[in-house]
């Protein structure tokens, strides 16, 4: 069964209908990437999945249950989804270790010892365990993003959502973060990734979703989308991003 099922999701801001009718599933262990032009609604879609935005219409089922139904435990639902943002969103007043512990302590009510051990384990996974006392301001963008990933993983999420995690990074840092994401993908973690890194998407995706103007214009395996795209819109988008005008 799918972990998450999205049915006829719509989202408008005022009279701007940004998501027009999106249906998709996320299956356990699957890596789904979402590509598409700026403004096509990719971030809004991710933010609707974890209810940072409230959908205007449609259903989101988590393990078969409608999370938008009255009385559903939304705070609990959110703990099952880890989110990594383009802009890191670390707590600047907390050090690296505290960043990775605070959610565990306050939301999951773990004890200090467990929270610390879990944080250290995940910081190790992203190669940041030597920086536990550093404050975010002392870290490079790539290091901050690795801490943000460790922080999200420390909550033991069932699904990780990434919104362009490398697009705010200096080019030399991109590879480190993508490398960690590849390892996570290979470890069987369920991931939904909005990215403009096409080579990465081609390599890690079990499924690629191409969004255009608030709709899923085409979806398929990495080969379907990158090698044998069917829709003119997909071909045009890929041509534009893979062969940018000088
Ligand atoms: N909070 C908001 N209030 C009003 N309009 C919004 C809001 N968030 C997004 N939008 C609008 O929704 C549309 C889709 O935006 P979204 O950020 O989801 O696109 P995107 O595909 O993530 O683009 P990008 O690749 O540039 O990140 C845009 O027209 C944007 O202006
Ligand atoms: Mg976006």
pLDDT at 243: 85
| Single pTM value for the model | 0.95
Distance CA 122, CA 94 (A): 17
Distance CA 16, CA 39 (A): 12
pLDDT at 177: 95
**Per-residue pLDDT tens for 162-178?**
999 999 999 889 999 99
Residue 196 burial class via C-beta count within 10 angstroms: exposed 0-12, middle 13-18, buried 19 and up = middle
pLDDT at 82: 96
What is the atom index within ligand 1 of the atom nearest the CA of 36?
Answer: 21
Tokens at 176, concatenated: 């480190």
pLDDT at 200: 95
Distance CA 233, CA 235 (A): 5
Mean pLDDT by 10 residues, the chain (246 residues): 94 97 96 97 96 96 94 92 93 97 96 98 96 97 96 97 94 93 95 96 96 97 96 96 82
What is the atom index within ligand 1 of the atom nearest the CA of 164?
Answer: 27
Pocket test for ligand 1, best of 14, 33, 35, 41 (most atoms within 8 A of CB): 41
d(CA 145, ligand 2 centre) in Å: 17
pLDDT at 4: 97
57 beta partners: 10
Strands of 190-194's sheet, edge to edge? 81-84, 159-163, 190-194, 31-36, 207-212, 215-220
> Do residues 209 and 35 touch, judged by C-beta distance below 8 A?
yes
């Amino acid at each position: 069964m799918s972990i998450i099922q999205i049915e006829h999701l719509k989202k408008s801001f005022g009279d701007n209908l940004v998501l027009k009718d999106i249906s998709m599933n996320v299956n356990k262990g699957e890596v789904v990437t979402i590509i598409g032009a700026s403004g096509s609604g990719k971030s809004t879609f991710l933010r609707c999945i974890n209810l940072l935005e409230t959908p205007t219409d449609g259903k989101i089922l988590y393990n078969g249950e409608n999370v938008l139904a009255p009385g559903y435990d939304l705070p609990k639902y959110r703990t099952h989804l880890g989110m990594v943002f383009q802009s890191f969103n670390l707590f600047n007043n907390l050090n690296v270790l505290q960043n990775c512990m605070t959610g565990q302590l306050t939301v999951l009510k773990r004890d200090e010892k467990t929270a610390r051990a879990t944080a250290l384990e995940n910081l190790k996974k992203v190669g940041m365990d030597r920086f536990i006392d550093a404050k975010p301001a002392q870290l490079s963008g790539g290091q901050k993003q690795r801490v943000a990933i460790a922080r999200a993983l420390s909550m033991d999420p069932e699904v990780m959502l990434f919104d362009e995690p490398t697009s705010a990074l200096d080019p030399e840092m991109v590879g480190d973060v993508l490398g960690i994401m590849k390892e996570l993908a290979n470890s069987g973690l369920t991931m939904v990734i909005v990215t403009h890194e096409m080579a990465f998407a081609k390599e890690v995706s079990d499924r690629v979703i191409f969004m255009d103007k608030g709709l899923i214009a085409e979806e398929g395996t990495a080969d379907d989308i990158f090698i044998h795209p069917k829709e003119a819109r997909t071909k045009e988008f890929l041509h534009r991003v893979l062969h940018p005008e000088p």
